[in-house]
Homo-oligomer: A and B are copies of this chain.
């Protein structure tokens, strides 16, 4: 059973995870140091290791949280809803997560690019299952004629690719697009694209 956290524990666990997210998202696991996380969180290095067993434990706590948040919106897609609107709702939700939590997106991206050494089992397990179910649903919608027939997997990949691009490649987007907000227009473009793809 889980003991309730003290006030200080709650504060410090949260400070460490927040600092870890910032550092790991930028430098990856191997490129990040406890000293960086210590400096970022305002705690001393030994104190950090009082709250987390190791550097790896911080990283894994972040990944675990991330995967939960990532997968839930896929599960929230309503098979009884309007197909195009449901897919659109999901895509917009994903885009909003990119805008609100770009560091989480980047942390995930670095983990995947590095070959997902710590979460490969989740990818081939939970993630795969969830996506397979969604693909079945999309195919079912296509068979029923509610949407145009498209490869469901590549449809999903394209939604992921585009939404995450705006978070992961933010410096590049900003270098080209300028500093003004690009998410507004991105949403419109994404909606236009998906409607064109899904409407007969």
Contacts and interface: CB of A to CB of B under 8 A. Distances in A.
Contacts of A173: 157
Interface in A58-116: 106, 109-110, 112-116
Contact of A168 (B32, B113, B124, B172): B113
Contacts of A168: 109, 112-113
17 contacts: A27-B114, A28-B28, A28-B110, A29-B31, A109-B168, A109-B169, A113-B168, A123-B172, A124-B175, A132-B176, A151-B189, A154-B185, A157-B173, A161-B162, A161-B164, A161-B165, A164-B165
A116 B161 contact: no
Interface string A175-195: 111000000011011001100
A171 B112 contact: yes
Contacts of A28: 27-28, 30-31, 110
A175 B127 contact: yes
Q: Is the interface of A mostly helix, strand, loop or mixed?
A: helix
A7 interface: no
A162 B153 contact: no
Nearest to A196: B196
A14 interface: no
Contact of A189 (B32, B106, B114, B150): B150
Contacts of A193: 158, 193, 197
A132 B160 CA distance: 25
A40 B11 CA distance: 44
A54 interface: no
Contacts of A154: 185-186, 189
